Structure 1
């Protein structure tokens, strides 16, 4: 039920392993929609998420409703994450060692608009501080606003991110490839970063 109370818990390490199947399915469902249009693979997703479970310093903020996992947000020291992300920061003269990288933030549609996004950012920023990291960053896929696949009435999250204190860095980008819904092969996608200095 979408009106069920939401609970949040920051988990790391072995505590995440029993949740990997639920988290994998969650990523597939949410990222299938615009703007990612990602044709997910559950086996790949479990492996991707297992890397968070096994990485020192990484954490996942888990959102539940009536015990069911309905949302999640990931974070980890940037130096432990994706090599292309680190390379993009170094190329821009930024030291990845000073950043906590926020990966995905996913929430099932019926539970949106109830403050989960704010809680995800607050919990991840608290985790970054606990690691002694005072800078945070995430990236978002760039799409042509005129793309015919863009849903009518779609509102980008830029305003929400700005209200959380994040600033766009259109000069700071990274490329990742994935298979879109209905495609037979992976295609490259460009993502740009948003940064924040924590108080």
Structure 2
């Protein structure tokens, strides 16, 4: 039987006290394919600083018996760092019209219970409530299908994202470095997925 969970929302300044919860989940969940992220709290503090500074950021946290077992984040794209802006600027899309979904991380044993949909529902509602965003966007790391490190049982989230109304925008790609287990720092391509928030609101 599935254990119960609760969903909590933390906005703007409220998120500062929850940064360590999200950092721990990112380090744990992103160590697996396709990110293969060798995380550190130093890197996490630098990455999550943008969310701590933004008055319109959002953390959606899933908890079970007081333990945070999942997290989903978002903030206005204009409040993130310039490398996130570049693919939009290059296509003439106003950065101010985009609400960026940073990540959804969930412990494996809690998947398949509708928490992923709850994460998207809450972030999309938050972006719409702010009243100035045309687009919701996130990015996903690009990996070769024949990469020998890819687990046989791995299933990408593309079908889930398509059902949520998101479309992968080929060519809207940025490059970010992070430490990969056993390889050191590697520069990774990540391609954006977008949804028009004015449709099917």
Provide TM-score, normalisation by structure 2.
0.93
Q: Which residue of 1 aligns with 2:97?
A: 98
Instruction: Structure 2: state its 5+ residue gaps.
Output: none
CA contact (8 A) 1:136 1:197 kept: yes
Give the Å deviation of 1:139: 0.4
Runs of 4+ in 1 over 3 A off after TM superposition: none
Instruction: Structure 1: state its 5+ residue gaps.
Output: none
RMSD: 1.4
Q: Which residue of 2 aligns with 1:144?
A: 144
Provide TM-score, normalisation by structure 1.
0.94
Give the Å deviation of 1:18: 2.6
Partners of 2:134 and 2:91 lie apart in 1 by 18
**SS, match of residue 86 in structure 2:** helix
Distance 1:134 1:127, change over 3 A: same
Aligned length: 197
Partners of 1:150 and 1:97 lie apart in 2 by 36
Q: Which residue of 1 aligns with 2:54?
A: 55
Query: Are 1:183 and 2:183 matched, yes or no?
Result: yes
Partners of 2:45 and 2:83 lie apart in 1 by 21
Partners of 2:90 and 2:50 lie apart in 1 by 25
